[in-house]
């Protein structure tokens, strides 16, 4: 049995407790500081995008290493700029060196999508070093603001009590100093934990992809130039002069005044298609140049489906037309252009009949092939 001389007094016990608290707190801070300097960081894992390797609520410790030190398969933490710069912890799938930067492709083990990011070759990135399952839950709870404030309040009360108890001793100032030292170290410890503790965020991804879309261009395209031809026959027919032919006139007229309707007839010798088997007709334009400025009413070009002759066509013998693929265009002071591609592909060897789409419009004249300039043209484009 120990003698009473060896039983510590209350003051001695307080002194030993103060010293022990101070030593533990300083030890914690020193350890934390050394780990920090060595590049280690504690992180709470917030999602299961790396399950089962790392799970929600785990506490992981990463070590800062050179990018060249990591390998495919390592788990690293990085700031993902596609997720507003949040810290993400995923596995490296690919590594590429581009100049002085190293490009990483990473992916969460449960994810379908990947992240592509880069790091300077002389920078540091965090590589998973230690995983403590579920410790992140406890660490998060302990570093909550109310808990931190409560611990700091408790330290304040204990310091006050210690100072009061030291009042009766002869070495009051030394006791107070020891208590304050222990208190400061404890407070620093309490505050350091949440500051040191980081988090790696939830980073899930999923992908829907349509693969195998294949595109192959022909080995040779059509190189034939567009071809422009002028009419081999053109005239007009006049309702007010139903038996007359105007095939030698230098202009063909269009009118839709009731009883005085006029319609233009124009025909072309279609050119021989290019010999290049890669060529096909892609566009045909019928163009008329008005003699006098005249805008407003819509004109239409109809495919002629029966034979006619420039020197014999009259109102009474005018050819028949098809009402399929009628090309329309507003009359214009400049070139009137009809897209007659479909009509030519359907067979337009008998040419086109041009008239107003609506009734009530007066005479408009267009040069014929007998006119020295601005004759009708047919422009054929191949592709």
Partner 1 sequence: MSRRFALTVAAIGLVCVLAGAQTWAAYRDTTASAANSFATGTVVLADNDSGTAMLSLSNALPGATDAACITVSYTGSLASAVRLYGTTTGSGLDAYLDLKITRGSFSGAPPAFDSCATFNADATDYAGSGSGVIYNGTLAAFPDDYAAGRVDPLPAGPETWTTGETHVYKLEVTLQNNPAAEGKAATQTFTWEARNT
* Chain residues that interact with partner 1, rule: CB under 8 A: 44, 46-48, 56-57, 81-83, 86, 111-117, 137, 140, 144-145, 148-149, 152-153, 155-157, 159-161, 163-164, 166-167, 172, 176, 180, 183, 194, 197-199, 201-223, 278, 280, 282, 383
151 burial via Cβ count (<10 Å: 0-12, 13-18, 19+): middle
* CA-closest candidate to residue 85, choices 130, 115, 124, 42: 115
Of 11 and 199, CB closest to partner 1? 199
Of 91 and 303, CB closest to partner 1? 91
Of 199 and 363, CB closest to partner 1? 199
Strand order in the sheet with 198-200: 115-120, 101-107, 86-98, 75-80, 125-132, 59-65, 40-45, 198-200
For the bound state, the minimum distance from the C-beta of residue 27 to partner 1, rounded and expressed in Å, comes to 23
Phi and psi at 238, nearest 5°, equal: -130, 120
Q: For residues 14 and 17, give the distance between their C-alpha atoms in angstroms, rounded to a whole number.
A: 5
For the bound state, the minimum distance from the C-beta of residue 66 to partner 1, rounded and expressed in Å, comes to 24
For the bound state, the minimum distance from the C-beta of residue 378 to partner 1, rounded and expressed in Å, comes to 20
- Angle in degrees, CA 115, 118, 122, rounded to 5: 150
H-helix or E-strand containing 93?
strand 86-98
For the bound state, the minimum distance from the C-beta of residue 352 to partner 1, rounded and expressed in Å, comes to 24
For the bound state, the minimum distance from the C-beta of residue 308 to partner 1, rounded and expressed in Å, comes to 34
* CA-closest candidate to residue 88, choices 65, 104, 71, 69: 104
For the bound state, the minimum distance from the C-beta of residue 329 to partner 1, rounded and expressed in Å, comes to 22
Which letter does DSSP use for residue 68 in this model? G
């Amino acid at each position: 049995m120990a003698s009473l001389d060896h039983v510590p007094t209350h003051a001695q016990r307080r002194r030993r407790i103060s010293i022990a608290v101070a030593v533990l707190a300083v030890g914690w801070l020193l350890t934390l500081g050394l780990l920090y300097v060595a590049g280690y960081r504690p992180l709470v894992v917030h999602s299961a995008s790396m399950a089962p390797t790392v799970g929600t609520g785990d506490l992981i410790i990463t070590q800062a290493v050179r990018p060249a030190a990591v390998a495919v398969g390592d788990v690293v933490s990085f700031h993902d700029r596609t997720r507003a710069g949040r810290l993400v912890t995923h596995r490296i799938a690919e590594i590429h060196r581009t100049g002085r930067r190293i490009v990483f492709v990473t992916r969460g083990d449960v994810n379908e999508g990947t992240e592509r990011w880069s790091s300077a070759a002389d920078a540091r990135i965090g590589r998973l070093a230690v995983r403590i399952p579920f410790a992140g839950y406890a660490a998060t709870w302990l570093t909550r603001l109310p808990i931190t404030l409560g611990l700091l309040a408790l330290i304040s009360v204990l310091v006050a009590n210690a100072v009061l108890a030291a009042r009766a001793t002869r070495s009051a100032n030394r006791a107070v100093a020891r208590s304050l030292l222990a208190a400061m170290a404890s407070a620093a410890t309490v505050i350091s934990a949440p500051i040191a503790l980081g988090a790696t965020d939830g980073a899930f991804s999923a992908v829907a992809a349509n693969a195998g879309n294949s595109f192959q261009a022909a080995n040779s395209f059509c190189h034939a130039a567009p071809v422009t031809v002028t009419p081999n026959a053109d005239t007009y027919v006049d309702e007010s002069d139903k038996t007359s032919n105007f095939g030698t006139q230098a202009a063909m007229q269009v009118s839709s005044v009731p009883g005085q309707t006029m319609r233009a007839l124009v025909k072309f010798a279609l050119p021989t298609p290019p010999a290049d088997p890669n060529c096909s007709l892609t566009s045909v334009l019928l163009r008329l140049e008005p003699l006098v400025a005249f805008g407003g009413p819509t004109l239409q070009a109809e495919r002629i489906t029966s034979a006619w002759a420039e020197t014999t066509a009259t109102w009474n013998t005018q050819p028949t037309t098809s009402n399929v693929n009628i090309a329309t265009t507003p009359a214009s002071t400049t070139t009137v252009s009809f897209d007659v591609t479909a009509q030519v592909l359907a067979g337009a060897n008998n040419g086109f009949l041009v008239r107003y789409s609506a009734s009530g419009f007066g005479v408009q004249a267009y040069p014929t092939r007998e006119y020295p300039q601005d004759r009708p043209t047919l422009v054929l484009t191949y592709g």
